[in-house]
Amino acid sequence: MQEAFYRHAGLDLLPTEGNVQALAQAAQCTVRTGETWEDLFFRLLLERIEPAIGRTRPTFLTHWPASQAALAKQDPQDPRVALRFELYANGMELANAFEELTDPTEQRARFEADRTSRQTQYPTRPTWPIDEKLLEALPHMPPCSGIALGFDRLVMLACGTPRINDVLWIGV
């Protein structure tokens, strides 16, 4: 991830994490009204990184910023990043994967931080309860990982079409 941001956006990503102004300055762009660091991170990913990667061969974006860990473990070698990757081909995300976080204390803290953030951003929306059953199950899980492959995107790639509507089994 850091190499992709350096090559295609001309910036060192990790030192800016959490500071939207620092990221905007490094990216030489402006912060839109209400835009958070995460919003700008994804805007840069969509506008500058994704279109440039996986063009000549499949490309993996690994070691996502820790703030983007969700259910993934942080890298014990570098806690600034998560053990998460996405696979890209022809500028399109095909798969998303990560090593599962099995620490219920850490996962609870992430759930609570996410809930607080969502309440701040969307004060009129209902608050979802924390999944206590998941937290109870985590200590019993063996070390594991998972990957979600977008079959529709794989079919798009095989058919050479840029529009997902061209390959959907059921029209939208």
Q: What is the mean pLDDT of residues 2-11?
A: 97
Q: What pTM, to 2 d.p., does this model score?
A: 0.86
At residue 70, does pLDDT exceed 90?
Answer: no
> In the prediction, which pLDDT does 161 show?
93
At residue 4, does pLDDT exceed 80?
Answer: yes
- CA of 113: how far to CAs of 60, 80, 107, 109, 117, in Å? 28, 17, 10, 6, 6
Single out the residue of 31, 30, 29, 27 nearest to residue 10, CA to CA: 27
Farthest CA pair distance, the chain: 46
At residue 135, does pLDDT exceed 70?
Answer: yes
Give 18-47 pLDDT, tens digit per residue: 999 999 999 999 999 999 999 999 999 999
d(CA 111, CA 125): 17
The pLDDT confidence band at residue 136, using thresholds 50, 70 and 90, is very high
At residue 122, does pLDDT exceed 90?
Answer: no
Q: What is the mean pLDDT of residues 93-100?
A: 96
At residue 170, does pLDDT exceed 80?
Answer: no
- CB contact at 8 A, 97 and 146: yes
Q: What is the mean pLDDT of residues 62-66?
A: 96
The single-letter DSSP state of residue 46 is I
- Average pLDDT of every residue of the chain: 94
> In the prediction, which pLDDT does 171 show?
64
Q: Which two tokens stand for residue 97?
A: 């994967």
